[in-house]
Amino acid sequence: MKALDELTFDNRFARLGDAFSTHVLPEPLDAPRLVAASTAAMALLDLDPAVTETPVFAELFGGHKLWAEAEPRAMVYSGHQFGGYTPQLGDGRGLLLAEVYNAAGEHWDLHLKGAGQTPYSRMGDGRAVLRSSIREFLASEALHALGIPSSRALCVIGSDTPVWREKQERGAMVLRMAPSHIRFGHFEYFYYTKKPEQQALLAEHVLNLHYPECREQPEPYLAMFREIVERNAELIAKWQAYGFCHGVMNTDNMSILGITFDFGPFAFLDDFDAHFICNHSDHEGRYSFSNQVPIGQWNLSALAQALTPFISVDALKEALGLYLPLYQANYLDLMRRRLGLTTAEEDDQKLVERLLKLMQNSAVDYTLFFRRLGNESAALAVAKLRDDFVDMAGFDAWAELYKARVERDGDSSEEQRRERMHAVNPLYILRNYLAQNAITAAESGDYSEVRRLHEVLSKPFEEQPGMEQYAQRPPDWGKHLEISCSS
Ligand code: AMP
Ligand code: MG
């Protein structure tokens, strides 16, 4: 276990030089204080959980202090935002503070979000407000606990620093961690600004550090792109299977590692709704829940375009062609498991689609349905669940197919079925209204709810005594909370 001054640094991205990032110091927050910290994320750095109790913790992650070995940099990138190309973006309010490695030799970027203005801030103030910082903290750790690849969050630091959004709020910082903060948009930036040397350096950097196994392939860059396609197909299959809506799938928010990245107006579905749009600035629904699947491919095509200096167009097209079949296979595999099935049949896709349509029409809670389906035998479970459906006859017809399918799946005791299904069907997810309750308390200085919610969500599959209130459908006020980009 390490103290905060015992980390081992290796700032590889900073060494790429000034064409890639700019040295900027964090702007300290007034009266920084710990809102919440993740011991699981701290463990990734071998940090002793007791370090949160030292005053230097909030000073470090509130922008007051820096390690001597840190090299804070604002990264430059660009990207396609809502389908249109924005030639220059970059870390407008976040800094890559340093890169550290742990005892197992794993590398982690430490990125401080809300750290003040940078050359890429455009008209922005460089700040993040408390509510969005809490949301990012909770979501990163909750997704990880669900088994969905994501950037991680070490802590949230609150402050007295005034920040103006629609009203006056308080500034905060999140310490984000990921093996890399390189986005699709990094490649696009060097491609569209016609800087082939830097682009080659970037590609080598990503290949060597993050896809070293592709070096062994006859065409390493193509192998790397294929791997990126595969990881995105797997990631988005998980989002769809678990009802996660990212909200702003611009190419500057897509990680080159295929992890969930850059949280804004995200949401987990309460009621199943394929057309759900979580970002109320997304008028066209470009990033609606079901559109995430084709948008994943669109984003990969944008990356492919930026990789044309390294890979032939035919090979890129072929690799892109892997996305949809892989997505479908992964998604179906997850949904089979959510239904408690252990074998595959031709018509399983239809069984899933039919169920989702029924859930959509009756606004059935997506998470609780699957959890309750696993509570007992298929016959008993569907008999109880039918009350949630308006079209009961429709549900009954589905239930007959399901029961027959479970029968064909093979013998398993009720006990085995419950265990298997509860291991993949969470009881607790980060519902918008739960996040809102925690935020409201935190805005008046009480951080206990953020911490409790974080704790509950760290074991989403385990029933936790006394925590029933976190496994409920939203109350009326919490059903249609509007979440905007202004965070
Ligand atoms: P996002 O929608 O959070 O992914 O941000 C899109 C771009 O706007 C990124 O380049 C951000 O760094 C930048 N940005 C967002 N909010 C701010 C802010 N408050 N101040 C400066 N830049 C910002
Ligand atoms: Mg972003």
Model confidence pLDDT, tens digit, residues 72-123: 999 999 999 999 999 999 999 999 999 999 999 999 999 999 999 999 999 9
Catalytic residue positions? 252
Residue finishing a domain among 271, 304, 332: 332
Q: For the full predicted model, state whether its pTM sits above 0.85.
A: yes
Q: Where are the alpha helices (DSSP H) in 88-219?
A: 130-146, 184-192, 196-210
Any domain includes 466:
no
* String of DSSP letters for 38-83: -HHHHHHTTB-GGGGGSHHHHHHHTTS---TT---EEEEEEEEETT
Q: In terms of domains, do 177 and 235 share one?
A: no
Domain count along the chain: 2
Report the phi/psi class of residue 446: left, alpha or beta, with left for phi > 0 and alpha for psi in -120 to 50.
beta
The one-letter amino acid code at 328 reads Q
Q: In terms of domains, do 216 and 146 share one?
A: no
- pLDDT tens per residue across span 138-189: 999 999 999 999 999 999 999 999 999 999 999 999 999 999 999 999 999 9
- Establish how many alpha carbons lie within 13 A of residue 311's alpha carbon, considering only the half-sphere containing its beta carbon: 24
State whether the beta carbon of 90 lies less than 6 angstroms from ligand 1.
yes
Q: How far is the CA of 253 from the centre of ligand 2 (A)?
A: 5
For range 42-65, the mean pLDDT = 97
- pLDDT tens per residue across span 339-360: 999 999 999 999 999 999 999 9
For range 310-328, the mean pLDDT = 98
Any domain includes 58:
yes
Residues bordering ligand 2, an ion, CB closer than 5 Å: 253, 262
**pLDDT at site 480:** 80
- Main-chain phi, psi angles of 86, to 5 degrees: -110, 115
Task: Select from 121, 166, 170, 260 the residue to mutate for testing ligand 1; criterion: most ligand atoms less than 8 Å from CB.
Answer: 121
**pLDDT at site 483:** 79
Closest protein CA for atom 5 of ligand 1: 92
Residues 418, 402: Cα–Cα separation, whole Å? 16
Any domain includes 462:
no
What confidence category does residue 481 fall into, taking pLDDT thresholds of 50, 70 and 90?
A: confident
Residue finishing a domain among 278, 304, 332: 332
Is the separation of the CB atoms in 97 and 70 below 8 Å?
A: yes
Q: In terms of domains, do 78 and 161 share one?
A: yes
For range 26-39, the mean pLDDT = 98
What confidence category does residue 486 fall into, taking pLDDT thresholds of 50, 70 and 90?
A: low
State whether the beta carbon of 262 lies less than 6 angstroms from ligand 1.
yes
